[in-house]
Amino acid sequence: MQIIGHKNQLALLKGFLEKGLFFSSFLFWGPEKTGKKQIALGFAKGLLCQNNVFNGCQDCLACKDNPNRDFLFVSESFLPSSIIKSNDDKPYGIDTSRAVIKFLSLGASLSKRKVVLIDNAHLLSEEAQNSLLKIIEEPPAKSVIILVSDKPSLIFETVLSRTLGIYFPLVKQEDILHWVSDHKNLTEKQALEISKFSFGRPGIGFNLMADGKQLELYREKVLELLSFERQSAGQKLILLKRFLATDPEISKDLEFWQAILRDELLFSLGLGDLSLILSKKRELNQKDLVLSLKKLSNLSEMAENFPATAESALKQMVLSENL
Ligand SMILES: [Zn+2]
């Protein structure tokens, strides 16, 4: 498992493992695709390992127990469909929290403790969160719950206040470039492009490296989008629809759209060197500048407060311009 960036957070977690300092609930939070889940999995393996080694020592009985019976990983793709049942629009319903509570009620077998990792914890329904709150307030001995989320504002304050929050910000471009440059099959130019197009998210860089066509497609789409701001609302919607249909993986990422708007601003302020993706000079007048700033803050706000897809957020943005 390769972890890119987050040196301080890793040092903190490894320190917890080495010194045996354990909190019963953690919240790993921050933007999508920054490596939170990977690090949470490494930490979980460390908590389960009899030798307390981050990511597991691979030698002890607990590490050799595969899949580890003292570990419950709650994620949309790994949960049996019988557990992902919910009465509302959130996939983790009351059955999920019941499964967690039942799992933690029994003692550990080979490990020193039982560990539950809930990926995308904001997908827990209200009922599920309420039910889980009881076990977070009074955790069984030798148990640890790790919540992972990029939208913690959708998790109850009562739950959040009882967890130790660890923030995972966007990873520096230079850290991503360093990682990407180690892959010998890439040219220098490709490595630089991947590091820029990742927007601080190694998860995106990983996808771009895995499939060369993705990088090409991405470059083409970015060039096409350079004209985005100058289009009419109708044309913008057509462009959006086409982009989202051809490349859902990247285009659903709000950070991508924010980067385009941010670059417009940087260029117009004569700070093009700092831009993330745009490579040619853009002209904006003062009115456009104010509009771009407003859009940036609107997008950030939408991304922060709603589990909206980029598609709906951008449509709202384009349509609101015409009001
Ligand atoms: Zn071990």
Query: Mean pLDDT, to the nearest integer, of 282-300?
Result: 59
pLDDT in tens, 236-280: 667 666 666 665 555 555 566 666 666 666 655 665 555 555 444
Residues 94 and 241 in one domain: no
> Residue 203 falls within a domain, yes or no?
no
How many domains does the chain contain in total?
Answer: 2
Last-in-domain residue among 149, 167, 185: 167
219 and 163 in a common domain: no
Amino acid making up residue 238: I
228-248 tens-digit pLDDT: 666 666 776 676 666 666 655
pLDDT category at 21 given cuts 50, 70, 90 is: confident
pLDDT value, residue 261: 65
Distance 112 CA to ligand 1 centre (A): 11
| Inside any domain, residue 199 | no
Min mean pLDDT across 30-44, 60-74, 129-143, 246-260 is at 246-260
Ligand 1 centroid distance, CA of 54 (Å):
9
- Cα separation of 90 and 122, whole Å? 9
CA 111 / ligand 1 centre spacing (Å): 9
58 CA distance to ligand 1 middle (Å): 5
Closest C-alpha among 66, 190, 75 to residue 123:
75
The residues placing their C-beta within 5 Å of ligand 1, an ion, are: 49, 51, 56-57, 60, 63
Same-domain check for residues 124 and 12: yes
The one-character DSSP state at 82 is T
Q: Which of these three, 144, 167, 190, is where a domain ends?
A: 167
- In angstroms, the CA 3 to CA 8 distance is 12
The rounded mean pLDDT for the chain is 78
Task: Please report, for residues 30, 151, 300, 322, the alpha-carbon distance to residue 315 in angstroms, rounded to integers and kept in the order given.
Answer: 25, 21, 14, 11
Same domain, 84 and 220: no
Kindly give the distance from the C-alpha atom of residue 152 to the centroid of ligand 1, in angstroms, as a whole number: 31
- If one compares 168 and 84, the residue with the highest pLDDT of the two is 168
Total number of residues shown for the chain: 323
Asked which of 134, 167, 200 is the last residue of a domain, the reply is 167
> Considering only CA atoms, which of 34, 45, 33, 43 is closest in space to residue 11?
43
CA of 48 to the centre of ligand 1 (A): 7
What separation in Å is there between the alpha carbon of 83 and the centre of ligand 1? 29
The verdict on residue 181 lying in a domain is no
Q: What is the share, in percent, of the chain residues with pLDDT greater than 90?
A: 37
pLDDT tens by residue, 81-109: 544 444 456 678 888 899 999 999 999 99
CATH of the domain at 109: 3.40.50.300
d(CA 127, CA 90): 10
Taking the centre of ligand 1 as the mean of its atom positions, its distance from the CA of residue 262, in whole angstroms, is: 45
Domain check: are 106 and 221 in the same one? no
Do 162 and 41 fall into the same domain? yes
* Domain of 234, in residue numbers: 211-321
pLDDT tens, 7-16?
Answer: 999 999 999 9
147 and 20 in a common domain:
yes
Whole-number Å distance, alpha carbon 145 to ligand 1 midpoint, is 19
Q: Do 56 and 155 belong together in one domain?
A: yes
Contacts of 175 (CB under 8 A, 6+ apart): 4, 5
Q: What is the DSSP string of 303-318?
A: HHH----HHHHHHHHH
- Residue (of 224, 215, 223) closest to 189 by Cα position: 215
Q: What is the whole-number distance in angstroms between the Cα of residue 134 and the centre of ligand 1? A: 30
Does 42 share its domain with 156?
A: yes
What distance in angstroms lies between residue 63's CA and the mean position of ligand 1's atoms?
4
Residue 250 lies in a domain: yes
Claim to verify: residue 160 and residue 11 sit in the same structural domain: yes
Domain assignment of residue 248, yes or no: yes
Centre of ligand 1 from the C-alpha of residue 40, in Å? 16
Q: What is the DSSP letter of 253?
A: -
CA of 175 from ligand 1 middle (Å) equals: 29
pLDDT band for position 281 (cuts 50, 70, 90): very low
Residue 180 maps to a domain? no
Statement to judge: residues 112 and 228 lie in one domain: no
Residue at 204 is within a domain: no
Quote the ligand 1 centre to 14 CA distance (angstroms).
14
Same domain, 156 and 11: yes
The answer to whether residue 205 sits within a structural domain is: no
Cα–ligand 1 centroid distance for 105 (angstroms): 23
